[in-house]
Structure 1
Amino acid sequence: MGKCTESTGNPKHLRFQSMVPNGQLKEQFVYYVYMMKNLSDLHPSLREAMVSTPVFLDLLLYFWHAQTAEGDPFVLFTDRKPREECLVVHLFKTFLQLEKEVKPSVTILDRALDGGFCDAWSLVEGAALRAKLCSLNITTLNSNYPENRLVNRCLYLTSLIDICNIFLEHPQFHPITFFEARCFDAFVELNYNIVAHMSPIVSEYWLLELSGECLEQQSSILTMAVNSDYAPIWHVQNIIKGGLLHALFHILRKIDSSKVDHAINNVLRILTAYAIYPKVARQLQVHFNGPIPHQMRCGLAIQQLCGRTWTGFKTCVDFFTKIIQSTRWVRDELSICDNLHHHENFEPRDRFKSKTCAGCTSVAYCSSLCQKDWKLFHCYECKTARAGYLDLKEFRKQYRHRYRASHLALTIAVYQKNWHWVESETRNIIDGPTARHNVITARLPDPLPEGSDRRFEAIVRRHAGDRSSRLVEGMFLLGREQVWVLAAIKPVVYLM
């Protein structure tokens, strides 16, 4: 059939390389289907052993990868007969049926994983394949099918959800595997197809059960990834690109949001938290300039249906969309200076780029003159700050200078669009919708890191009597770390 290669843990490497013509592959595939059809005549223990081995899963993965380059991976097996089920789907359904027959208290896949028959990567990659097959099954439904036949198809999806629950609970599971194997994207597409294609046919009860469970799993996986020691910024970007917003939109439009309120709120909270990153914000902007706004022309009705969940999220994304263009030049030209005695009217010399402390990378200076702050002040706090930097580096999370410049630019934009200030002892804190919702700026909920207290107090004392400048606190999510930015902003300088 083909040559099996070791799994590299990378979706870009195929697990199988074709060594025989497609015609022979199809013959072997048909023969395997025939064997699976006649498995009912075998002893139950033999059926269980056959399904427990990774051979079947590997075969499906092989055909999936082998045909992806040619477009529709199922064209070879449909013989251009739209009403005839393709062999891949039939084999997939046969496997699910066998799986249901032979799983007592412990599921087969769980037993296979514990027994070392196949690794976690193969199982997750297989889950992505099954989600794709379910999507195909749903999108090719005929509206004339009786509802009981659709219910049977829904049971296959329920089996898929049960399988994925194994991954979430298994000690070998890591949430990043779901993203790297494109399994999360497949689930997003599946959820979208459930709501978009099945709502006119299936009763609201089935629709709610299936879509709600899928969304709960997406929420759980996304939360686990965010809370792990790995910040999936590019994964969040791919999730948005893969259609999560579209899926959420259809769910909010066709299902009472209160029934899946917790999962939706959790997904939206994570998306808005990561929207502070320029690439994620731009991805949000692209999608809200795409099909969704055209479908949202009836905005009032959608807001009434979805309630505060959708309205709050839409407000946050609209805010990012409006300011992202205006902050580009600020991010490029802004010079961050952490010198406690930096003068507001001081202009750095030409050709001088902001320099970040090499020891801790947590402070930056705009000129050689301001860099003298290291000897006067920063050398006392550098050691503590460096410990925090090394912790981030160990977990492959680094708060780069361009992130900080981008965050400060966004903070400046917030300041200019929210002119109302709230006096709090010696601090001036922004007040506005974004501040109240804790999305962009907020009061610091936790104590300042050790070593930052003196710098914070010194900056506050310096600006306590200066009514022309304001202090702004910014809180940003970096994995599960909260990054704090304190900016002294003079509105006359940064007006747009």
Structure 2
Amino acid sequence: MSNTFNPVVFDTALRQAPDNKNRLSSAEILAARNGKVSALLRAIECLPADFSQAIFDAILANLHLDLVESLRDSFRQGKPLYNNEAFQRAYGALCAMRLVGEAIEANPSTRRMVIAKIRGNMRELASWMLISFGYFPGEPYRPSKPVPSAIETSPQLVACALVTLMGIDIDLAREFLSYGMMNDVAALLWVSSMESSTAKMGRKRSLPREFARVNDHLSKECPILEIFHTYVKTNGPYPETNPILKSFVNGRIGSLNLLASSTVRRASSFYPEVDEGMPQNIKLAAAFSKQLFDITRFLILDVHGGVLREEFSLARMFEQYTRLLDSIARRAGPEKATSLFEFVINSQTMLFDWATSSSHGLISNVTGLARGNLLRIVTNTIKWKVPPAVKEAAKALLLRMVTHTVYPRMLKMTEYTLIQQPKDILGIKDPKFHTFASVVKMRNNMLLEFRDRQIGICDNLNHAPDAQPTHYFHGRTCSRCHSVMYCSEACQRTDWKARHRKECRVLHADYYLPRKHRDSWYRHNLRSFHLSLIISHYNNRLNLLGKEGQDPRFASNLIASFIAIVDMTHEPTEFDLELPERYINRKVYDRSLLMAQDKRVGSLIRELVRAKDANVRLVEGVFAFGHEQIYVMAKLWMRNPNKCDTTGTEDFKVLSSVVRIGPKRDLQKFEGTDISDDHYDQDSD
């Protein structure tokens, strides 16, 4: 395809440097004057750097915004823009920008002059670049009448122009991009190319070939990803130093998803098979997904997720991305999509690792993955005939997912696949999958019961067992630190005088302030559900240990048999009996978040050791929470010991609980413990 170019600009440049005319053949000059872009570019490449600078000066001198109206009218009327004078000048500006870097390298003394000229025409140049895509600043983008040149030349020239600006002066690039170019160009490069290709599509035309041509231009000659990398690495990953990053990420991801999903939606149309046995459109959709994956990996690994974790949640992007991958796999089928599964599982594992590596936005991000059909992707990988290594990776991801089904929102997402759509899991005989499915179904049943009957919470450690609340909504939360709840004003007043007055200030600074504006809040209704899980797992384990819950390792120690850990960060859930000394000597906690409440745990252990009440248990549940863990210590009281003697079933009630959030702990055993009463006489409250 050829585009016209304003011959006046070219002739002006020739007149400014007549001695260089002999470098060009008469045929090349004639072709340039007749508007052949390819001939023009070849002619310009033959010129020395200083002469290219003359062309650049001439083009910038001819930039005028009074032609915008003419260009807008032509576009709306469907007239060919490549014959429009405004478009010719816009295209001339793009061509000139491509040569700026060469001019500066050849003659560094011109650097200051070039920067001054670009800065003086900054708005005009930005406007012309956008207009060359059929996009008018301040107006909605209407690709119904696409600009033919957008596919052939403009994207690569814009990319070269932006890269050139970054090489000249990063402050200049930042100023240029502040006009919205980064976000607009990123989206328009893909949207305009997509619409330009599909608008001319017919059943007799090979759309895959058209897509392949567009993808070739965008991936090889339009290094938007390179621009993005350079810009972020130079300016930093944080919003206060890089205000464009967030809008660019949103625009780039949105346009990539648009192209990839549009390609997949046309999978059932008229696409021929290719040599590798996969429809061409599936391969192209996978290629688009790979570019999105590269951007995401760059944000996660190179930028360390700083702007993403602190500024906004990626849950929506995760949802779109997993839906896209699921659509690719299902459209291609198990036989044709085998080569895609490794990429799909690896990308999902990386996204899951990122989503669970930070406590900020953990539940939203993990839920976004589940909502985007992550579970169906994994189950299909296990169900279909794929390479063993890929299947094992899928199983490992499955077992890691189950550790996060302790959150109701995650359970709700898995319920659709496992309960409402059982046909998706038919034919899966893998024992690890059935372990996962049974655990999820059990927890879903517990969630249904929990909604009808929730465990009450009162953080007054001296609360009478018979007066324990039956519903957590009846509680009163501390208005300053929000980390404790009480069943009544009397209990709140009692606990304030006993211990909370000393710990409230620390909890407010270490817990409430850092988390109140982020999605990393451990709410009391979630604690109530976790207490239900703890009691259920504890009762099931006691039935295996025997009536007394006695472990042979602690046969000589009655108290130790009443302290247990239910670790739900593993699947199957790990269960261990503990010595009281271990809770006092947890040096691995250091001075971590919410560990100020270790004193409450110490109070519970001292009371247990001194009272030696066979009807009281201490159970700590451990839950995954990003790079941290949630530790919920619960004091359980056996309501009816006689019922236990006759039925062998424990009937426990929560007396009190303590929540701490801290680092992942080492489960190594402590040796030589001392559980005498004298050891706990020192009051740590």
TM over 0.5: yes
Q: Cα offset for 1:317? A: 0.9
Q: Cα offset for 1:289? A: 1.8
Change over 3 Å in CA distance of 1:283–1:438 after alignment to 2: same
Residue 534 of structure 2, aligned match among 386, 411, 414: 411
Within-5 A mapping of 1:52-451? 55=185, 57-58=187-188, 60-61=190-191, 77=199, 92-102=211-221, 107-111=223-227, 114=230, 119-140=248-269, 145-148=273-276, 150=278, 153=281, 156=284, 157-158=286-287, 160-162=289-291, 164-170=293-299, 171=302, 180=314, 182-199=316-333, 202=336, 207-228=337-358, 230-256=360-386, 258-260=388-390, 263-264=393-394, 267-269=397-399, 271-291=401-421, 293-298=422-427, 302-304=428-430, 308=432, 310-331=433-454, 334-346=455-467, 353-371=474-492, 372-389=494-511, 390-393=513-516, 395-420=518-543, 421=549, 423=551, 426=560, 428=562, 437=571, 447=589, 450-451=595-596
Q: Cα offset for 1:94? A: 2.8
Change over 3 Å in CA distance of 1:17–1:351 after alignment to 2: same
Q: Cα offset for 1:467? A: 2.2
- Indicate conservation of the 8 Å contact 1:48/1:108, yes or no: yes
- Indicate conservation of the 8 Å contact 1:212/1:260, yes or no: yes
Tell me how far apart the structure 2 counterparts of residues 480 and 433 of structure 1 sit (CA, whole Å): 16
Is 1:454 aligned to residue 594 of structure 2? Answer: no
**How far does the alpha carbon of each residue in 1:245-274 deviate from its partner, in whole angstroms, 9 at most, with x for none?**
111111111144741357535643553333
Q: 2:118 aligns to what?
A: none
The residue type paired with residue 221 of structure 2 is V
Moved more, 54-63 or 253-262: 54-63
The residue type paired with residue 429 of structure 2 is Q
Q: Cα offset for 1:297? A: 3.6
**How far does the alpha carbon of each residue in 1:92-144 deviate from its partner, in whole angstroms, 9 at most, with x for none?**
543311134437xxx442225535998232222223223313423545475x7
- Indicate conservation of the 8 Å contact 2:264/2:281, yes or no: no
Could you tell me the TM-score, scaled by structure 1's length? 0.73
Change over 3 Å in CA distance of 1:353–1:165 after alignment to 2: same
Q: Cα offset for 1:415? A: 3.8
Change over 3 Å in CA distance of 1:366–1:289 after alignment to 2: same
- Indicate conservation of the 8 Å contact 2:566/2:573, yes or no: no
**How far does the alpha carbon of each residue in 1:174-224 deviate from its partner, in whole angstroms, 9 at most, with x for none?**
55699658443333233223332324553xxxx344221132122212322
- Indicate conservation of the 8 Å contact 2:186/2:224, yes or no: no
Q: How many residues align?
A: 448
Q: 1:9 aligns to what?
A: none
With a CA cutoff of 8 Å and minimum separation of 6, indicate the structure with the bigger relative contact order: 1
Tell me how far apart the structure 2 counterparts of residues 274 and 100 of structure 1 sit (CA, whole Å): 37
Tell me how far apart the structure 2 counterparts of residues 232 and 340 of structure 1 sit (CA, whole Å): 31
- Indicate conservation of the 8 Å contact 1:429/1:472, yes or no: yes
- Indicate conservation of the 8 Å contact 2:638/2:652, yes or no: yes
Moved more, 422-431 or 474-483: 422-431
The residue type paired with residue 49 of structure 1 is C
Structure 1 regions of 5+ residues with no counterpart?
Answer: 6-14, 65-72
Tell me how far apart the structure 2 counterparts of residues 460 and 155 of structure 1 sit (CA, whole Å): 61
Q: Cα offset for 1:166? A: 3.7
- Indicate conservation of the 8 Å contact 1:348/1:366, yes or no: yes
- Indicate conservation of the 8 Å contact 1:427/1:471, yes or no: no
SS at the partner of 1:126? helix
Tell me how far apart the structure 1 counterparts of residues 632 and 270 of structure 2 sit (CA, whole Å): 53
Structure 2 regions of 5+ residues with no counterpart?
Answer: 1-71, 77-125, 128-136, 164-181, 233-243, 544-548, 578-582, 641-650, 654-685
Change over 3 Å in CA distance of 1:413–1:136 after alignment to 2: same
Is 1:49 aligned to residue 177 of structure 2? Answer: no
Within-5 A mapping of 1:466-481? 466-481=613-628
SS at the partner of 2:529? helix
Tell me how far apart the structure 1 counterparts of residues 417 and 282 of structure 2 sit (CA, whole Å): 30
**How far does the alpha carbon of each residue in 1:310-338 deviate from its partner, in whole angstroms, 9 at most, with x for none?**
2332232122122111222332xx32122
Q: 1:10 aligns to what?
A: none
Structure with higher Rg: it is 2
Tell me how far apart the structure 2 counterparts of residues 440 and 367 of structure 1 sit (CA, whole Å): 36
- Indicate conservation of the 8 Å contact 2:458/2:469, yes or no: no
Q: Cα offset for 1:349? A: 11
Could you tell me the TM-score, scaled by structure 2's length? 0.55
**How far does the alpha carbon of each residue in 1:441-472 deviate from its partner, in whole angstroms, 9 at most, with x for none?**
77899648643333213213334522223222
Moved more, 193-202 or 465-474: 193-202
SS at the partner of 2:347? helix
**How far does the alpha carbon of each residue in 1:341-399 deviate from its partner, in whole angstroms, 9 at most, with x for none?**
22223356999932223343322222334330221233333333333313333644222
Tell me how far apart the structure 1 counterparts of residues 393 and 386 of structure 2 sit (CA, whole Å): 13
The residue type paired with residue 184 of structure 1 is F
- Indicate conservation of the 8 Å contact 1:470/1:490, yes or no: yes
Change over 3 Å in CA distance of 1:35–1:97 after alignment to 2: same
Tell me how far apart the structure 2 counterparts of residues 199 and 150 of structure 1 sit (CA, whole Å): 9
Change over 3 Å in CA distance of 1:265–1:358 after alignment to 2: farther
The residue type paired with residue 303 of structure 1 is K
The residue type paired with residue 604 of structure 2 is I
- Indicate conservation of the 8 Å contact 1:472/1:489, yes or no: yes
Q: 1:483 aligns to what?
A: 630
Tell me how far apart the structure 1 counterparts of residues 575 and 652 of structure 2 sit (CA, whole Å): 19
Change over 3 Å in CA distance of 1:430–1:209 after alignment to 2: farther
